[in-house]
Amino acid sequence: MDPVELQVIISRPRTEVFAYLADISNHPEFLDHFLVDWHLTREDSWGLGAGARFRAIVPLQRFPWGDMTFIEVIPPRRIVAAGRGGKFNRIRTRQIWDLDEQGENATRVRLVVATEPKLPSDRFLETFSGRGWARRRYGEGLRRLAAILEEERDRGRRVTIAGCARKPASVFHFEPR
């Protein structure tokens, strides 16, 4: 799919918007209308290497699972997430979040979303869920992001790690028998 480019102006300082977006556990709050069943891929959900796996609600999609990992985090202006989805995770995906100051208390958030299908069958399926579908879904997500950061409303569920509280690895001391 050719890149889909969207943007929104949020009435918040750029550092605050960046801190929110750099935590991948916040993304389900504004993208849960089409990306559901989120699971973190590591305990630390903030910054470089943070990742999540999720299920996309896509028309005619038999293999809805996908993932994304932050591969570039440049505070407070850019986040790049790379991932894979589709059958056997063969469709490469990319999300680029650029944040620009628009005055003292405003931030322009620009999102570019692109996929790279590997096979002709993957390209065919994207005709049903390609640019128009992505534009509508991610556009709604950006509107929800603005509502969350500006007005503290329209929040979805945050993703968490399953299980109990984690302890640092240094707490465990192995004693041989």
CATH 3.40.50.1370 fits 4-171, yes or no: no
Angstrom distance (rounded) from CA 162 to CA 42: 11
The tokens of 12 are what? 């918040």
Interhelix angle 131-151/14-21, rounded to 10 degrees, is 120
Which contiguous run of DSSP H or E holds residue 69?
strand 65-74
Domain ranges of the chain: 4-171
Tens digits of pLDDT across the chain (177 residues)? 689 999 999 999 999 999 999 999 999 999 999 999 999 998 889 999 999 999 988 877 788 899 999 999 999 999 999 999 888 888 899 999 999 999 889 999 999 999 887 777 666 666 666 778 889 999 999 999 999 999 987 777 777 776 555 555 554 555 555
